[in-house]
Amino acid sequence: MLKLPQNIKDFLTETGELSSFAYRFFREGFKPRYEVREFIHQCFVIGYKSLPLVGLTAFIIGLVLTMQLRPSMVKYGVEVQIPAMVGVAIMREIGPIVTALIFAGKIGSSIGAELGSMKVTEQIDAMEVSGTNPFKYLVVTRTLAATLMLPLLVTYSDAISLFGSYLGVNLYEPLTFKLFFKKVIDNLVYIDVIPAFIKTFFFGFAVGIIGCYKGYFSSKGTEGVGHSANSSVVVSSVVIFILDLIAVQVADLFQ
């Protein structure tokens, strides 16, 4: 009989457990009692508190992308197309993927560490004996908030990136914001925007559910908490790339 190597067995086991955890989210998440107050709090923590980091990185990316593109575009005499090219690149790919990766680093690690710490200090058990379903209170609220906040953050990040790009263009030649914005919009079609927006819900869900899964099943004390935070980021980053690959294939079917 074929014997699988241990690391493949572990991978398959963890994938199965994570799938079961995600299934439990859908099974329990939409039944009362609804943790509305905690969900709103998590939207604030996950969404609002990520604005400065996401904004800063988005601005730098927009600016740097424009500055890096310019020499090649000038060489071929098409520098006038920079806004259009940056617009498509940011809206289709760079905005969603970079924001999702930063989100995974900030939110995935924070959820993994927070839940991991709660697990090893028995706070999750304490919640259960206080008449609270910890899965709903901790996992459903955080995962739902991550799923809904990431698309908003990506929209915000796209706008800031385009503003950075506009400043990048203006470092070399004056261009009005209205004209820059027109060039961006004129070259965008629905297929650039809609699939890119839809995939961010999946990215957000992946970051939320993986962070919660890693934290919820944390063990081995403080070392386990560190491992939960670290592996939340690593696994969700890889999953984001895999989902992106799938999203591109699906979007291509509608081209």
Q: Is 19 helix (H, G, I), strand (E, B) or coil?
A: helix
Q: Among 52, 77, 131, 174, which residue interacts with another protein (rule: CB under 8 A)? A: 131
Q: How many residues does the chain have?
A: 255
For 10, the token pair is: 């572990």
125 binds another protein (CB under 8 A): yes
Residue number, 110 or 143, with CB nearest to another protein: 110
Stretch touching another protein by CB under 8 A, among 23-31, 66-74, 118-126, 173-181: 118-126
Give how many residues touch another protein by CB under 8 A: 15
28 binds another protein (CB under 8 A): no
For 144, the token pair is: 């739902």
Stretch touching another protein by CB under 8 A, among 1-9, 116-124, 206-214, 229-237: 116-124
For 254, the token pair is: 């509608």
Where do runs of H (alpha helix) occur along 104-220? 109-120, 123-129, 134, 141-170, 177-186, 190-216
Other Cβ atoms within 10 Å of 42 Cβ, number: 24
Residue number, 41 or 182, with CB nearest to another protein: 41
Minimum distance, C-beta of residue 137 to another protein, in the bound complex (Å): 9
Contact predicate 140/38, CB 8 Å: no
Binding region for another protein (CB under 8 A): 114, 117-118, 121-123, 125-133
